[in-house]
Structure 1
């Protein structure tokens, strides 16, 4: 099992590296568009009290999320269109594990892009990029929960093939309603309640407190761990259910 996982990880890493070398202009454009997006909001809010040393964290989290949660579904959609989905299903490891490996590899690549983006922001914008190493484990815990979203989108792709609209809606919901750019205390009560159930919201709040040298309790971190674990487990269960139902109804036979 370990050897199979290693081989899958190595194969996916080689595949993405080839794609990056081939389609590198797409990645450059992605960084430029995100930079323009961040600059617009930064200049718009620069006289607002929410602009502080931790302001960039919300955008950093969203950059990871917007790039990572859709990767498994995009890959599944591509495999279905070129007729190789059956080969994935016949591999000695489950399809959800393959999706998780794809997402983890893409997360590594996104981390490199995020570092490049932060360097460009630091060199070109009048913003003080303050970093605390303790943010890294919080980011990892938060993204673990968001893998559940990734699996859910991958499951929907198994069922419906094209889910780009779902991904766009989810991405912008997570941008505007998790505290990434707008303080959640200024949101309506219902939106605020729903927002606080998301691991991304909790991860952003904890990271901002760490960067601003504010205290973070063990209970807050423990709550984030439970929150992320819940979303991951629910994502896995929903993916398994959709995958099983798709097999039962013979949807895979079309590919």
Structure 2
């Protein structure tokens, strides 16, 4: 347990060090996210939106913000280690590679949360969501559903990372998933307005069901007993579980293949 805590601390300190070194880029990176959210808000919101509608929309955008990292983070870690020629050494260490990845994921989530709170706060002010509504939110249930959905997106991330073990660059794959999550899951365009093929695609992804569950939660004044009885909730749990199984299975198979071919460090 102590060693795992030290590993997590080391990953957090590494991210903090990078933030200090690249603070200028970090500031504008967060401003880019804010301006993106702002553009989506003014482009797609309706004057009839209630505080609940605005809050749900903002939550959906925040899941996408986290989800982008969820999908590309593990692949980027692998590409970086392959480029430096240290990936095989990590596989050969006593610490399980899955544990190493998990600590990096947790460290990134902590850092994303710090940045996300700032972006979220700016959006609350800009979207004119009443502060008393934000205070009244049941954050326990909201964050539980939020991060449950995010776990499913990490399943997709493991799948993308599996391809990163065999190929030099897979950023375009991660980018494709990121765009699909933003435009074809109901965040900014109602799923019913999409062509039928994209409606089916949307329902394959955890973000669609996570948004549905969050909407049920918000519309029913954060009454979790109603959420559990709603059909969207078990589908979300099943969808997240399936993506985790698919992601880890593909990652494990690709890792085995790369090790057998002796190409784990080729870049």
Task: Establish whether TM, by shorter chain, passes 0.5.
Answer: yes
How far does the alpha carbon of each residue in 1:88-147 deviate from its partner, in whole angstroms, 9 at most, with x for none?
Answer: 111223323322322222112111111110111123343447443121100111111111
RMSD: 2.1
Change (3 A) 1:50 1:154: farther
**Contact kept? 2:82, 2:266, Cα under 8 Å:** no
How far does the alpha carbon of each residue in 1:145-201 deviate from its partner, in whole angstroms, 9 at most, with x for none?
Answer: 111111112221111121111111110111111111111122222221221121111
For residue 253 of structure 2, give the secondary structure of its aligned residue in structure 1.
helix
Matches of 1:39 and 1:148, distance apart in 2? 29
1:59 to 46, 58, 61: 61
TM-fit CA distance, 1:3: 4.4
1:136 to 143, 146, 151: 143
TM-fit CA distance, 1:248: 0.8
Q: TM-score, normalised by structure 1?
A: 0.90
TM-fit CA distance, 1:62: 0.5
Note the 1:111-122 alignment, pairs <5 A.
Answer: 111-122=113-124
Q: Does 1:106 align with 2:108?
A: yes
Unaligned residue ranges in structure 1 (runs of 5+): none
1:69 to 56, 68, 71: 71
**Aligned residue for 1:14?**
13
Q: TM-score, normalised by structure 2?
A: 0.86
Unaligned residue ranges in structure 2 (runs of 5+): none
**Contact kept? 1:96, 1:151, Cα under 8 Å:** no
Change (3 A) 1:94 1:68: same
Change (3 A) 1:162 1:253: closer
Matches of 1:185 and 1:50, distance apart in 2? 18
For residue 114 of structure 2, give the secondary structure of its aligned residue in structure 1.
helix
Q: Does 1:221 align with 2:233?
A: yes
Q: Does 1:145 align with 2:152?
A: yes
User: How many residues in Structure 1 have an aligned counterpart in Structure 2?
Assistant: 254
Greater displacement, 99-108 / 217-226: 217-226
Matches of 1:234 and 1:47, distance apart in 2? 38
Change (3 A) 1:27 1:253: closer
